[in-house]
Amino acid sequence: MTDAGQHHTPGTRHESPDADSPGARLDDSAVRQRLARIDELLERVEDAAGPTARAAIETVGTLSEVYGEALARVLDGAAPRQAERMAGDHLLGHLMDLHGLRPGPQDRPAAEAVAGERSARPLAAP
C-alpha cells in the first residue's frame, strides 16, 4: 500500500499529481523530487528493524544492481558522443555516477566516490 492508502500493482506506472497521463514523463524538477523522496524512504527502511525491513533493503539493492547492469549495457552500445550526452542529463548522470559508469577517465574518481558513498549506506543486507 502507498502512503495515500492506494494499492500499487507491480508493472504499472504510479501516477503522480504532476503527471498529466499514465505515460507522462518527468521533468528534471520532478526527478529531483523523486530522488529526494527515495533517499527519505530508504532512510526510514534502514532505521526499521526486522526481517521485512531487511528484505526491503535487499530488494532495493538487488533491483539497483540489475538496473545498473541494464544501463551499462545501453552504454556499451552507445557511441562516445551519445554517452557524453547521456552523462549530461540530470537523471542519467546521477544513475551513471551511482553505478560507476560515467564515461571518461577524468570522471572515474568522482563516480567511484559517489558509488562508495552509496555503498557505505546499507542498501543490501549483509
Statement: residue 94 has pLDDT above 50: yes
* Confidence category of residue 23, pLDDT binned at 50, 70, 90: confident
Q: In the chain, pLDDT over 70 holds for what percent of residues?
A: 65
Check: CB of residue 60 under 8 Å from CB of residue 123. Answer: yes
pLDDT reading at 41 higher than 70: yes
> What average pLDDT does range 45-58 have in this prediction?
94
The pTM (predicted TM-score) of the whole model is 0.60
Domain borders along the chain are 28-120
pLDDT at 117 over 50: no
pLDDT digits (tens, 9 = 90+) for 54-85: 999 999 999 999 999 999 999 999 999 999 99
- Asked if 90 contacts 107 with a C-beta cutoff of 8 angstroms, the reply is no
Query: In this structure, what C-alpha cell is assigned to residue 111?
Result: 563516480
Please report the pLDDT score of residue 102 as a whole number. 85
CB 19 within 8 A of CB 27: no
Is the pLDDT at 37 greater than 50? The verdict is: yes
